[in-house]
Structure 1
Amino acid sequence: MTGFRSALHSIITKSTLRALRHRNFALVELAGWFSSGGVWFYRIGIQVLTWELTHSGLWLGIIAAAEAIPGILLSPVAGAYADRYDRLVMARIVQFVIMSVTAILAFATFAGWVDIYALLVLAMAHGAAAGFWTPVRLAMVPNLVPKEDLTSAIALHATMFNLARFLFPAMAAPVLAIWGAGMAFALNAASYLIYLVVLFFIVLVNPDERAERGAGMLANLKEGLAYVTGQVPVKQLFLMLIFTAVFMRAYLELLPGISDTIFSRGADGVAILVSAAGFGAMIGSLAVGNITRREMLLRIYFTSVLVAVLSLILFAATSQFWFGVAAVAVLSGAQMGVNVTAQVVVQSSVRGSLRGRVMSLWGVTNRSGPALGALLLGWMAVHIGFQWPILLAATLTGAVGIYVWSQRRAMQAAMEEDQAKL
């Protein structure tokens, strides 16, 4: 038993799992996993309910937009509030609001009161609350662990998200088939309740300084944008983030068309490709979480960019299905390497009083970029097929990657200067 405990302690303290040594982070991460899973019940449930009410593809798009747009618009404002006020208190309030909206939707669905217009209003309310949640959630991570475990914390956060993304949708299917969308919404509300309760049992052990409240909201937003566009290495990483979000991740939204037209596989091909992406993402995030030396971050970052670009080129160039599956797995793992290392650098570099605003812009880019890229590449695919647009996307991202790589010495120097200030 002593040997087992010693081995377990070694795994937790020396691997990606080392952030779990910290009680506050471990509680939040476990509750967050259930909450992320509940969100998938909500997403699939609202799609199914929309279809049942309208049998309209247009309404599916309208409800999706109603969910996304308020969050994208409000996220920067939420980031400013997260810098001004106590993030833990704000997290509790936002979780209560999201839980309440989802519980109302569940009750109304069970009662048979929901029509498409009520669903539209509730989707907008849910999206607005989710827009407030993202910057608070991201900004709180460095407040839950010491700086030396930040890489592990961010990697674990990404791993748990991807694990929920590929486990809970499969669980949602029988729930919807047996009990309907109302039960899916009720389970989502219950997951929010678990998260809310946990938030009352934690403290922020590494709180940031707060932004001045005297300045107006517009001035706060401008300050955050100025930091992102003017601070080395943050501006280079955000430039790369824009291209990876818009061009490198858009292929996921296009998989049904790619599976059918290039691989002749249909729905089963989509499922296999999505599973490969999830597997690669989990392996990638776990691998990157083992990084403990700050000087290694940029090296891993640029290596991951190179591997991701080459993998996307190979995926676009092949018509062999299983080779494409392997390329997607490697691509997703490399993308997690890019995302985790970049987020660690940004979170380590940004002033605490600006963290909420900076991470709100990070979240907005990650959320809106793939949809924008899918729209652009999908339009091109109508005219020239899927392969050439994806090859072009990989080439553009690679070109930007070369430019950002040329700035690596200035980026490393800025990181070392930030470290010296600690």
Structure 2
Amino acid sequence: MPRLGFERIFQVLGQRNYGLFTLGNSMSLIGTWMQRIASGWLAWTLTESATWVGAIAFADLFPCVLLGPFSGAAADRWNRLRVLKIGQILGLAQALLLAALYQTGTLSIWPLFLITLFHGTVTGFLQPFRLAITSGLVTAEWLNTAIAINSVTFNLARFVGPAAAGVLIAFGGLGGTYAVNAVTFAGFTLLLNLVSIHNQPKHRPSAGFLADTMVGVRHAVSTPGVNALLLMTVVGGLMVRPVVELLPGWAAKVFHGSSGDFAALTSALGIGAVIGGLWLAARRSPRGLAGIMLGSQIAMCLVLLAFAASWHVWMALPLAMLAGAAMVIGAISAQTLTQIIVAEEMRGRVLGIWGLTVRGSPAIGALVMGAASDRFGMRPPLIVGVIVTLAVVGYFVIRFDRMRRALEDGL
């Protein structure tokens, strides 16, 4: 890896406002994924149903489908830092309630579902604000690197959080996991009060809120290159990404394991994600990310086919690590390219659509794949999902030159 790439990362993180925000954002995002995995495991222990595990993931992720375009428009209009502060207070409140209910033994499946739905609504609304605030934390010459780091933070949390949750569940139980999650929300809330931003959204709406939202939707789906990234993200989120949310079922049902085996699988995903994310963050230029994104999607599919064929957890562990690396490399590449090529005045709205695809498609996928797994077993739905994803990625491999030009010619 190029040494200068890591030096640039440290230089950006050394800038006070961005460094504080990234520290708090990392804590909060990891805590969010810890809660998601802990709640998935609790849903499994309460019901032993992959359908309920998928329903909990659906409640956490699906609100972004309804809110994403509107919250993206709001992020182009409202004070991003103020909204994030309010959102973190709400997130802290639900985290404390979840921990208290569990510790008192009153957390059954329906309260778990409703609290998760509230948390998903808050998190889904805040996502465009989290992403779009970056331009107010660093000056223009550092924006590309900051966006890449922001992408790494966001996507690594998707795997580091589950890994941390798996370890805490194995050694500290669900109560300890929920308590640590509450601490991460409190930490980000405090750090946000130390952050200041040097600019506010410059967009001055000339039409109503709904019309402004539709402009963002049309821009996202009609921009060459961006629409291809969104389509692949949706397909992957529906067809293969839910394997992460359904890992409790894989650990217990397929590999006949315990919470320790679940911890090992989630930790392996996290290790792979860290390796893949650091490699990508050290790159000095976004050029080449289109090819990296497609290659990582193909690698992910092949690894998950091997994972589906595994019959023992020790066979699945190295495959989970490779899958974690491939998933995070693909997600970071796609998000970084999207943020770089979108104009500042459209960033919040396009990132709202991005949040819709990243959170919404796995929500629907987890619900459908969970129900299919209860009926057909865990393996067949994943194998079918991999085949569909490979077919879509193959289409863009054939059209790669056109896609690369759309995404990288202006870099």
Q: Same fold (TM over 0.5)?
A: yes
Q: Which of 216, 221, 229 is the aligned partner of 1:229?
A: 221
Q: 1:288 Cα shift?
A: 1.2
Q: Given the alignment of the two structures, is residue 129 of structure 1 paired with residue 122 of structure 2, yes or no?
A: yes
Q: 1:281 Cα shift?
A: 1.3
Q: Judge conservation of contact 1:305–1:334 (CA < 8 Å) in 2.
A: yes
SS at match of 1:215: coil
Change (3 A) 1:75 1:233: same
Change (3 A) 1:353 1:237: same
Q: Judge conservation of contact 1:208–1:353 (CA < 8 Å) in 2.
A: no
Instruction: Specify the alignment match of 1:405 in structure 2.
Output: 397
- The unaligned stretches of length 5 or more in structure 2 are none
Instruction: Specify the alignment match of 1:339 in structure 2.
Output: 331
Change (3 A) 1:405 1:222: same
- The unaligned stretches of length 5 or more in structure 1 are 1-8
Report Cα offsets for 1:8-56 as digits up to 9, x if no partner.
Answer: x968415x5554233222211212233234446655787899999x989
SS at match of 1:84: coil
Counterpart residue identity of residue 355, structure 1? R
Q: 1:333 Cα shift?
A: 0.5
Instruction: Specify the alignment match of 1:210 in structure 2.
Output: 202
Q: 1:350 Cα shift?
A: 1.3
Q: Judge conservation of contact 1:88–1:204 (CA < 8 Å) in 2.
A: yes
SS at match of 1:32: helix
Q: Given the alignment of the two structures, is residue 155 of structure 1 paired with residue 152 of structure 2, yes or no?
A: yes
Q: Given the alignment of the two structures, is residue 272 of structure 1 paired with residue 264 of structure 2, yes or no?
A: yes
Q: 1:72 Cα shift?
A: 4.0
146-155 vs 290-299, greater mean Cα deviation: 146-155
Change (3 A) 1:203 1:172: farther
SS at match of 2:127: helix
Change (3 A) 1:25 1:311: same
Q: Which of 278, 288, 296 is the aligned partner of 1:304?
A: 296
Counterpart residue identity of residue 328, structure 1? A
Q: Aligned partners of 1:67, 1:153: CA distance in 2, in Å?
A: 22
Q: 1:194 Cα shift?
A: 2.8
Under a length normalisation based on structure 1, what TM-score does the superposition of the two structures give? 0.79
Instruction: Specify the alignment match of 1:167 in structure 2.
Output: 164
Change (3 A) 1:132 1:17: same
Instruction: Specify the alignment match of 1:330 in structure 2.
Output: 322
Counterpart residue identity of residue 200, structure 1? N
Instruction: Specify the alignment match of 2:66 in structure 1.
Output: 73
Q: Aligned partners of 1:264, 1:111: CA distance in 2, in Å?
A: 29
Q: 1:306 Cα shift?
A: 1.9
Instruction: Specify the alignment match of 2:305 in structure 1.
Output: 313
Counterpart residue identity of residue 22, structure 2? E
Q: Which of 171, 185, 197 is the aligned partner of 1:192?
A: 185
Q: 1:113 Cα shift?
A: 10
Under a length normalisation based on structure 2, what TM-score does the superposition of the two structures give? 0.81
Q: Judge conservation of contact 1:281–1:329 (CA < 8 Å) in 2.
A: yes
Instruction: Specify the alignment match of 2:137 in structure 1.
Output: 144
Q: Judge conservation of contact 1:273–1:328 (CA < 8 Å) in 2.
A: yes
384-393 vs 55-64, greater mean Cα deviation: 55-64
Q: Aligned partners of 2:108, 2:306: CA distance in 1, in Å?
A: 46
Q: Aligned partners of 1:310, 1:27: CA distance in 2, in Å?
A: 38
Instruction: Specify the alignment match of 2:351 in structure 1.
Output: 359
Q: Bigger relative contact order, structure 1 or 2, given CA contacts below 8 A and separation 6+?
A: 2
Q: Aligned partners of 1:69, 1:225: CA distance in 2, in Å?
A: 18
Change (3 A) 1:300 1:139: same
Report Cα offsets for 1:209-229 as digits up to 9, x if no partner.
Answer: 533323112212211211121
Q: Aligned partners of 2:53, 2:400: CA distance in 1, in Å?
A: 44
Q: Given the alignment of the two structures, is residue 89 of structure 1 paired with residue 85 of structure 2, yes or no?
A: no
Q: Judge conservation of contact 1:75–1:131 (CA < 8 Å) in 2.
A: yes
Counterpart residue identity of residue 389, structure 1? P
Q: Judge conservation of contact 2:156–2:277 (CA < 8 Å) in 1.
A: yes
Q: Judge conservation of contact 1:20–1:26 (CA < 8 Å) in 2.
A: yes
Report Cα offsets for 1:58-100 as digits up to 9, x if no partner.
Answer: 9988776655554542233221100112222222232233335
Q: Given the alignment of the two structures, is residue 21 of structure 1 paired with residue 19 of structure 2, yes or no?
A: no
Q: Aligned partners of 1:200, 1:403: CA distance in 2, in Å?
A: 47
Q: 1:233 Cα shift?
A: 0.8
Q: Aligned pair count? A: 404
Q: Aligned partners of 1:265, 1:100: CA distance in 2, in Å?
A: 34
Q: Given the alignment of the two structures, is residue 220 of structure 1 paired with residue 234 of structure 2, yes or no?
A: no
Counterpart residue identity of residue 133, structure 1? L
111-120 vs 67-76, greater mean Cα deviation: 111-120
Q: 1:329 Cα shift?
A: 1.4
Counterpart residue identity of residue 284, structure 1? G
143-152 vs 35-44, greater mean Cα deviation: 35-44
Q: 1:152 Cα shift?
A: 3.4
Across the aligned residues of Structure 1 and Structure 2, the Cα RMSD in angstroms comes to 3.8
Counterpart residue identity of residue 338, structure 2? V
SS at match of 1:196: helix
Q: 1:285 Cα shift?
A: 1.0
Q: Judge conservation of contact 2:161–2:270 (CA < 8 Å) in 1.
A: no
Q: 1:112 Cα shift?
A: 10
Instruction: Specify the alignment match of 1:388 in structure 2.
Output: 380
Q: Judge conservation of contact 2:163–2:270 (CA < 8 Å) in 1.
A: yes
Instruction: Specify the alignment match of 2:244 in structure 1.
Output: 252
Change (3 A) 1:168 1:116: closer
